[in-house]
Structure 1
Amino acid sequence: VDCGVEELPNKDVFIGDSSKSCVRLMPRRPFSILTFPMSALGTKFRLDDEDDNELGTTTATQHQTISSKKSVPSIASILSRCTLVRSVIELWATGKTMDDCAQDATSLMSSSSPSSSRTKADREILLKRNFKPEQSWKMTVHTLGSRYTREEQNEMRLKFSALTFPGPVKMENPSNEFIIIREIELDQTGSPVYPRHGLNKVLIPENDARPPLAVYFGRILGGARNWRGGRMEKYSLKNRVYLGPTSMDSELSLIMTNLAQVKNTSFCFDPFVGTGSILLTCALRGAYCLGTDIDIRVLRGRSSDENIYSNFRQYDLPRPDLVRSDNAIYSRHYRGHKPLYDAIVTDPPYGIRAGARKSGSRLENPRPVEEEHRYDHIAQTKPYAVSDVMSDLLDVAARTLVMGGRLCYVIPSMTDFDEQVDLPRHECLKLVHVCYQPLQMELGRRIVAMEKIADYNESKRSDYMSKVWVNGPESADKVAKIRDRLLEAAKKKPG
């Protein structure tokens, strides 16, 4: 999403140059606030799919989300496509204290006391859109990183009593939900730097007296407190019929489909499909899905009721096409054809929980397969170096993606990993996104998205492959020996 940026009124809370980024960052803030004008909804958000239904409705054809037929998409349709967005709030007022914020909100309501940052026309639009006598409402208090009693929260609400909303109060499913957000300084784990209560739940007066970083007041346009958790729970791995040790969790899979720009009618390919967890989220986006794997046992599943197709039936999604094949020799499995895939979304085997394999005999001089056995013969496999896995993956993507199509994959990394030189590259693919997820002190993984920008030239294949790793063996070894390096790091730990 390309956000149009507006400064929040309380500018001193944030740091950074608004001309360079739409993310307003602050020290020790474990989250980001994106701000944009309402007019940006129709011009800045990329609208690709035809339907405007929530992700996760009952029929397979209704999993598409953001409508291209509407000049301004609904907040619900945008949220249905987002994975990490907690909520969308129409900001009405802000201040350094609760009293300042309440005063700013009150000035918004008063045409005789215009706010310095809003015109009379702005206020009239807000009032016309939001205030209808019959509409019910409630006011929620959200205190980030602190606990307040119900009585203390009611005292905060009373500061906004001058707003005098005309409709009836309704605590469940109101027409309008207003929210007061009190922000304090949090560390990177989301815990308060200056906790209001100690371990014994006793109030710490000096911390309680500290002023908030900012107080916000607004109307929730989409994303009630439990909306995201409920959706993630629906697609959680623990609810799946068929799982394996390397099944990708639903949240990360949905993020990958967004980075790969998977949409309705996309043709998606996963060359290391495993139990199909990534393909399933592609299907939730309305894509046609093809998955391949070298392990026939994973493709067949445990039984007729416990396999990849079972998961797709569980969510009423079209069956994917599954083929046993070896990505190391992709061109030998399939006829030469024009670029085919809109997106390749995959989690390659990097040898931590499941080692990579490719076709090959364990014997020095293997016997040729007799003609009568070729139809159902399953070749032996041998270890497949992770560096070769990544080289072959980029080569297949450069060959088979349509122009502008995207490859999105996961790659493991340790603390000495340098994105500038240690990520695999290809002349036909442009790096567009790298997202880091820490897993342990030494280990993390990066979600990488690349876009095809040039046609593949078969005569240059050797040259392509020689340039995959910028620093040659040094870069490749950081990925290829990830398991050995983890074991070595574990031995050095005390105890």
Structure 2
Amino acid sequence: MAQHPPDTGPSDPSGPQYLIRLAHAHETFRVPELESLASLLGITLSVVDYKPTSPFCVVRFNATSTSVDQPSQDELAKTFISHSILSKSIYELYATGTTYDDLHDNVKSLPASTWAPYKNVSFKFNIDAFCGSRTMAQQRDIVEGFGYLPFEGRIKLKNPDVEFVVGEEWELLTPEEHSLLNTGAGVQQRNPSVDGNGNGHADTNTAEKVAAILSERKPRRLFFGRFIGESRRDLIIKHDLKKRPYISTTSMDAELALVTASLAKAGLGGLFLDPFTGTGGFMVAAAELGAIVLGADIDGRSFRGKSKGLEKGVGANFRRYGLEGVLGDCLTADLTNSPFRLPGKPKKDSSRWLDGIICDPPYGVREGLKVLGRRVHGPDGMNGKATHEGPYFIDGVPSHLLPGFVAPKRPYSFNRMLDDIMDFAVRSLVDGARLAFWMPCANDADEEFPVPRHNMLELKHSCIQVFNKWSRRLLVYERVAGDVPEDMVNGVQDLSLDSTSGHKADELNQFRRMYFRGFAEETPKNDHG
């Protein structure tokens, strides 16, 4: 798959601005997805105005191509948003303001030519109030406030020729205000004698406080724009895990799987691999975005299910979504014993073949991490020599060729796994291709896990999903152009835990150790007790 150059500079400052309406979810993933889509599509994108607490993001576009057939700004915007998962829609932005008087003044200052294309076409207005609400009467008053615009076409609420939007960004409620409003709503449900004006008896004070909060709330920013296009957010419903024929308790949420594939720049014709396939959630996500996908897992039962092939396992999911044509295959293998082509010392870019790697490696909490190989303890605790080399024979037949053979496994260090993932990526990804994987971490800053680094992988994004006492990060790397130097030390850099120290599950996995002690401070062992 051809890799487009990343955003290399600002867009034309004289060009139109566009308002992206983002979903109110996964805030740390929003801007990374915008950057990834711009890189995938070969579009220069500049973020003009954005705050993580707001779903409104103002941007400018500019194509990197100098062709005379270059698409218009509206076409660029529509193409861009049609690939987004964490956005809802995009609008050409005409004006902003902090009050409606301010907004109207800015709209009126625009040249008459702005409205000429829409003078005689059907139209409608929408009100998008974030963290606020408007009654139908209030919405009608807002729309009628734009009566000075020279529109002579008829109002058409369904499938109009043009759609305008008024975006309202309201002040966020404080926890106290939110609690009080919920209390007030509960009071009215339990006691109909108390209305919104405080008419009642025992709960009059609560109703009065609620009314005061509602009367004082107002938008802090306003936007006025024209609808351009919608995102691919409908894919989240399409890929709802509840409707998927083959899943497990560890299957990745459909939205996050799609976002992971998007940040890895999964696109039409790209060749992607998930080396920890499981039930194939990432494979399905990348395939939905147009990639051809391959998978591997140390336990073939995870992607096969109860059948010998993929028909009742991962294959059933691809069949449901009509994606069989982009499913390559799934192999029983681990990262350290991969049958996929992996040159030892690549000299030419042509020896590398993957356009992307996406995965959610096992965290080793429920059971320790394993890798194919015999469990042998040497002086270093893990890398001792086997007393027997070569295959075992049973009745003259190699044991691994007999029905029901289960390959032996040995403990695996968590840091060593990260090391192997990055080394595999460096030796298999083409220049500009991406590696995206999830990594657990503690919420306590004092227990922070270092982000793995590699000289041939540029860290593009680190996005966090927070749980109760721990979090997980989506780390996105891009393959640096060039060959691997002969003297380069492969793998993870600056990790505090030696990747091969110990041979027990807890010794090999710092996160597992912290998880089972509830992320409390680790007590040093007493050498004398």
Note whether the superposition's TM-score is higher than 0.5. yes
Residue 422 (structure 1) aligned to one of 433, 439, 450: 450
Paired residue secondary structure (2:167): strand
Equivalent residue runs for 1:84-233 within 5 Å: 84-105=86-107, 107=108, 115=109, 118=110, 120=111, 123-124=112-113, 126-129=114-117, 131-133=118-120, 135-186=121-172, 197=181, 199-201=183-185, 202=196, 203-223=210-230, 230-233=234-237
- Structure with bigger gyration radius: 2
Match of 2:21?
none
- What is the deviation of 1:239? 1.7
Match of 1:432?
460
Cα distance, 1:83–1:5 mapped onto 2, change above 3 Å: farther
CA distance in 2, matches of 1:479, 1:93: 57
Match of 1:78?
80
Match of 1:254?
258
Residue 24 (structure 1) aligned to one of 49, 52, 58: 49
The number of residue pairs the alignment matches comes to 433
Equivalent residue runs for 1:224-243 within 5 Å: 230-243=234-247
- What is the deviation of 1:460? 4.2
Match of 1:65?
none
Q: Which amino acid in structure 2 is aligned with residue 42 of structure 1? A: A
Cα distance, 1:406–1:332 mapped onto 2, change above 3 Å: closer
Pair 1:316 & 2:322 matched: yes
Match of 1:59?
none
CA distance in 2, matches of 1:418, 1:5: 44
Q: Which runs of 5+ in 1 are unaligned?
A: 10-19, 48-67, 108-114
Residue 375 (structure 1) aligned to one of 390, 401, 409: 401
- What is the deviation of 1:339? 1.4
CA distance in 1, matches of 2:273, 2:226: 41
Q: Which amino acid in structure 2 is aligned with residue 280 of structure 1? A: V
Residue 388 (structure 1) aligned to one of 411, 416, 425: 416
CA distance in 2, matches of 1:179, 1:233: 25
CA distance in 2, matches of 1:172, 1:199: 38
Cα distance, 1:478–1:385 mapped onto 2, change above 3 Å: closer
Equivalent residue runs for 1:467-482 within 5 Å: 468-473=493-498, 480-482=509-511
Residue 443 (structure 1) aligned to one of 470, 474, 495: 470
Q: Which amino acid in structure 2 is aligned with residue 323 of structure 1? A: L
Paired residue secondary structure (1:349): coil
Residue 340 (structure 1) aligned to one of 353, 369, 373: 353
CA distance in 1, matches of 2:267, 2:311: 29
Q: Which amino acid in structure 1 is aligned with residue 358 of structure 2? A: V
Q: Which amino acid in structure 2 is aligned with residue 358 of structure 1? A: V
Cα distance, 1:422–1:205 mapped onto 2, change above 3 Å: same
Paired residue secondary structure (2:219): coil
Question: After the TM superposition, which of the residue ranges 165-174 and 72-81 deviates more from structure 2?
Answer: 72-81
Q: Which amino acid in structure 2 is aligned with residue 314 of structure 1? A: R
Please tell me whether the aligned partners of residues 196 and 208 of structure 1 are also in contact (alpha carbons under 8 angstroms): no
Cα distance, 1:285–1:325 mapped onto 2, change above 3 Å: same
CA distance in 1, matches of 2:219, 2:356: 45
- What is the deviation of 1:392? 1.0
CA distance in 2, matches of 1:146, 1:332: 53
Q: Which amino acid in structure 2 is aligned with residue 35 of structure 1? A: V
CA distance in 2, matches of 1:274, 1:366: 33
Paired residue secondary structure (2:59): coil
Paired residue secondary structure (2:517): helix
Match of 2:58?
35
CA distance in 2, matches of 1:457, 1:160: 61
Paired residue secondary structure (2:490): helix
TM-score normalised by structure 1 residue count = 0.76
Paired residue secondary structure (1:83): coil
- What is the deviation of 1:353? 5.6
CA distance in 2, matches of 1:21, 1:311: 38
Pair 1:327 & 2:356 matched: no
Q: Residue deviations 1:56-115, cap 9 Å, x none?
A: xxxxxxxxxxxx98465454422221111222122222222123323433x1xxxxxxx2
CA distance in 1, matches of 2:302, 2:259: 24
Cα distance, 1:207–1:332 mapped onto 2, change above 3 Å: closer
Please tell me whether the aligned partners of residues 197 and 204 of structure 1 are also in contact (alpha carbons under 8 angstroms): no
Please tell me whether the aligned partners of residues 126 and 166 of structure 2 are also in contact (alpha carbons under 8 angstroms): yes
Q: Which amino acid in structure 2 is aligned with residue 87 of structure 1? A: S
Residue 265 (structure 1) aligned to one of 266, 269, 275: 269
CA distance in 2, matches of 1:435, 1:419: 18
- What is the deviation of 1:310? 0.9
CA distance in 2, matches of 1:146, 1:382: 56
- What is the deviation of 1:320? 2.5
Paired residue secondary structure (2:330): strand
- What is the deviation of 1:182? 2.0
Please tell me whether the aligned partners of residues 342 and 428 of structure 2 are also in contact (alpha carbons under 8 angstroms): no
- What is the deviation of 1:205? 2.3
CA distance in 2, matches of 1:310, 1:86: 29
- What is the deviation of 1:418? 8.5
CA distance in 1, matches of 2:125, 2:493: 55
Match of 2:38?
none
Q: Residue deviations 1:246-280, cap 9 Å, x none?
A: 22222222222222222222111111011111111
CA distance in 2, matches of 1:192, 1:232: 33
- What is the deviation of 1:480? 2.6
TM-score normalised by structure 2 residue count = 0.71
Cα distance, 1:208–1:486 mapped onto 2, change above 3 Å: farther
Please tell me whether the aligned partners of residues 92 and 218 of structure 1 are also in contact (alpha carbons under 8 angstroms): yes
CA distance in 1, matches of 2:329, 2:499: 38
CA distance in 2, matches of 1:315, 1:331: 28
Q: Which amino acid in structure 2 is aligned with residue 162 of structure 1? A: Y
Match of 2:291?
287
Cα distance, 1:96–1:478 mapped onto 2, change above 3 Å: farther
Residue 485 (structure 1) aligned to one of 514, 519, 528: 514
Relative to total residues, which structure has the larger strand share, 1 or 2? 2
CA distance in 2, matches of 1:254, 1:192: 36
Match of 2:26?
none
Match of 2:192?
none
Q: Which amino acid in structure 2 is aligned with residue 346 of structure 1? A: C
- What is the deviation of 1:411? 0.6
- What is the deviation of 1:439? 2.2
Q: Residue deviations 1:421-451, cap 9 Å, x none?
A: 80111222221221122122x2111111112
Please tell me whether the aligned partners of residues 499 and 508 of structure 2 are also in contact (alpha carbons under 8 angstroms): no
Q: Which amino acid in structure 2 is aligned with residue 127 of structure 1? A: W
Cα distance, 1:267–1:167 mapped onto 2, change above 3 Å: same
Cα distance, 1:485–1:308 mapped onto 2, change above 3 Å: same
CA distance in 2, matches of 1:173, 1:265: 34
